[in-house]
Chains A and B, each alone.
Chain A
Amino acid sequence: MRKSISPQNLTAQLQYRAAGNPPSTLPGAAVSNACPGLEMDFRNVWKRILVGIVLHETTNVVVGVEEDAPAPLYVLPTLYQLMKVEGEPVTATVTGPLIAGGPNVPIPNTSSDSVTNLEWSNALADVLYRYSGKEVVCEFQTIDPPLATLKFNLRVRHFFEKVLLPGGKKATQAVISRDIAEAGALTQSLCSPWQNDYRVCACFYWAATRPDYVNVELGEDGASVGNNWMQKDRTPESAKVYVVDDLQDQRLLTYGDLFREWEKALRFVIGNQDAE
């Protein structure tokens, strides 16, 4: 049956919202452009961008190999991280001021090396543009000591779906390729703002509907003191000590606490202070 409205050229294919679809199904309108998203998790398209291996959606760790991957790749999962593609690093050293107005210095992180993963859409955009369908040199390094490196030539998958036309030519369509996003891949890790994201998302991310730093008081020296919102002990008498986030630290709420007893664990915060 003929559709009542059928997009023809590429801009129309990219922008058209089919009847019945909500506005958020358009790439430009969806809350899915960052990690992870409410209706799809765009990060997942990058997991299979290199043929043979499966990358983690946010870190550069190799989490798996594909079924028909050559045997040498089997050493990579969970032990190695991707460092460079065609000589371009996928990580960067993060620098900035530690105190307001201070000098730019390497920012400490949990592994003490100030190195962070670049978001795949940025790190691999140029690789995709130049090398789609071609082989690239991928450099891997062990996650934990002892340091070891490996290099493999892997093929970059095409990002957009291609259809075979009469005569053998292929046309590129304005949709994400099935090859890099298998059925279910885009929805397998959505936001859960009222469960996990309560714990994992800090206040600078939209899914966090809570403050990070509460019961704040300004000291005479100009520095502030207060509590991490995830601290269990937050009575008026509690020490104004900020407990740094750590899943193992018993002073902080766990995911389990939130799932089991959220109504007891969570409290109202008004004007940055715990409400009685």
Chain B
Amino acid sequence: MQAQTRLVQIHRNGFAPAERLRPPAFHLFGTAAGSHVLMVNGSRIFSIAEDVAMALRASDDEDQAIRYFGLDAPAYIDDAAPLDPPVRSLSLAVAQKCNLACTYCYAQQGDFGNVPKDMSTEVADRSVDLLFSSVRSGERVQLTFLGGEPLTNRGVLRRATERAAILAARSGTEVRFSVTTNGTLLTPEDGEFFERHGFAVTISLDGPAEAHDALRPSKGGAPTFDRVMSRVLPLLRLQRRMQVSARVTVTPLNLSLRETLDGFLNAGFHSVGFSPLLSSGSGQAEMSGQELETMLAGMVACGEEFERRILRGERYSFLNMTNAMQQLHKGTHRPYPCGAGAGYFGVSADGELYACHRFVEDPDGHMGDIDSGPDRARQRTWLTERHVHRQEPCRSCWARYLCGGGCHHETIRRGRPACDYIRGWLDYCLRAYVRLLHARPEYFAA
């Protein structure tokens, strides 16, 4: 059959029915340069002529259409869950307590709803040993310190770090360290320690002072922004191996993203990332509907500034955008949103393993303990049930392999209220990717 005849036939087949029987195979998008398509399977991105876009848009048999254009591919992701993946990343809740009283904290002001407690050196040691128990030369592991506020138990944090560094050297492996802190207890000595071990330091900061102080007060109700910044600034000047980033939890109270981003980048943070608050411990300040639309507009405004800066050859480390550009370029496709419950676990102060740091002390996410390792039966159930092919409405979403189904903790607790936001953001990122790839291919060279 001639190509033109087939094209006409595909046009005549009419428009896609409102309810699709099969999950969408592609997502069409456009830029000033023309039409483009994301093939969901394998996250493959193509620039296409207008007649190809029209034919794809009009087709009611997507499989036939994509085969015709040679855009089909063997399934990159099947229904199978990974079987018993080895432990390669742990976060230690070295302190299940906190000196702040953030209104939305998933850890319920740091203690996860239990008696405040610290991780002992013994539990930390055994956790580190578990991390290295099956690692082979040349592999990489990740050790993260979280809480509560991890710096309330800095002795254990440092000891675990040094133990991991020794084990890494002995086993010929690479260990990467990270810590997420509220910044109120940081000292210059902490900065030197983090620099020495090349930490990725994430400071929880919720925007300009006023919003931050409303969202992240001390337990006594005092403002904390100025205190955090005064302690963080010396670290920013120390950054060589260490990278100090700001993580902004976005709530209805701090939606001025561009101002926040520029403020922190100008202060010298290595990078700044935003994440909407979708599930809070108290139910307060959760984002929905209109607020997510406002946030999306703010994210796109930040993204457009990112594009302008990259075109000018400047650095502008808007983390959501740098990550998205890297992942779209590689064609990242994943059946899960993260490694939680697979190669990554959160360790509680008592040495219990949980699917991630957010599930600490939550029976739903319990996954064994540091002495016997992951509970493989529970892990298999978790990985089978959490596979994006088992999630609704993800199965029928074009963004399913880019998003992976959304944070397990948030979706289990609150559902999926932010799908339009995520799709809107990814649609923008796709367009920005194609624009930058053409205008500044060297940005993707690394």
Contacts and interface: CB of A to CB of B under 8 A. Distances in A.
Interface of A: 2-12, 15-19, 28, 126, 130, 165-167, 169-172
B164 interface: no
Given A8-B36, A11-B333, A171-B441, A2 B73 contact: no
B415 interface: no
B390 interface: no
30 contacts: A4-B48, A5-B49, A5-B52, A5-B70, A7-B46, A8-B45, A9-B43, A9-B328, A9-B329, A9-B437, A10-B330, A11-B43, A11-B44, A11-B330, A12-B39, A12-B42, A15-B42, A15-B73, A16-B46, A18-B70, A28-B74, A130-B138, A166-B442, A167-B313, A169-B442, A169-B445, A169-B446, A171-B444, A171-B445, A172-B445
The B interface is mostly helix, strand or loop, or mixed, namely mixed
Nearest to A170: B445
A156 to B, nearest CB: 16
A126 to B, nearest CB: 8
Contacts of B69: 5
B331 A9 contact: yes
Nearest to B444: A171
Contacts of B132: none
B142 interface: no
Interface string B430-443: 00011001000110
Contacts of A17: 70
Interface in B346-373: none
B44 A7 contact: yes
A86 to B, nearest CB: 12
B47 interface: yes
A10 to B, nearest CB: 5
A17 B44 CA distance: 13
A15 B44 contact: yes
B445 A8 contact: no
Interface in B60-87: 69-71, 73-74, 76
Contacts of A171: 441-442, 444-445
Nearest to A19: B70
B70 A167 contact: no
Given A8-B437, A11-B76, A15-B42, 7 more contacts: A2-B49, A4-B52, A6-B47, A8-B47, A9-B43, A16-B44, A165-B445
A169 B442 CA distance: 6
A11 B42 contact: yes
A171 to B, nearest CB: 4
A18 B42 CA distance: 17
Given A11-B42, A12-B39, A165 B52 contact: no
Interface in B302-353: 313, 328-331, 333
A59 B43 CA distance: 38
A5 B45 contact: no
A16 B441 CA distance: 20
A4 B331 contact: no
Contacts of B36: 8
A167 to B, nearest CB: 5
A196 B434 CA distance: 49
Nearest to A26: B73
Nearest to A18: B70
Given A10-B331, A169-B445, A5 B437 contact: no
Contacts of B331: 9-12
Contacts of A28: 74
A130 B70 CA distance: 35
A9 B49 contact: no
Contacts of B46: 5-8, 12, 16
Counting from the closest, the 6 A-B pairs by CB-CB distance are: A11-B331, A12-B44, A165-B442, A4-B49, A169-B445, A171-B445
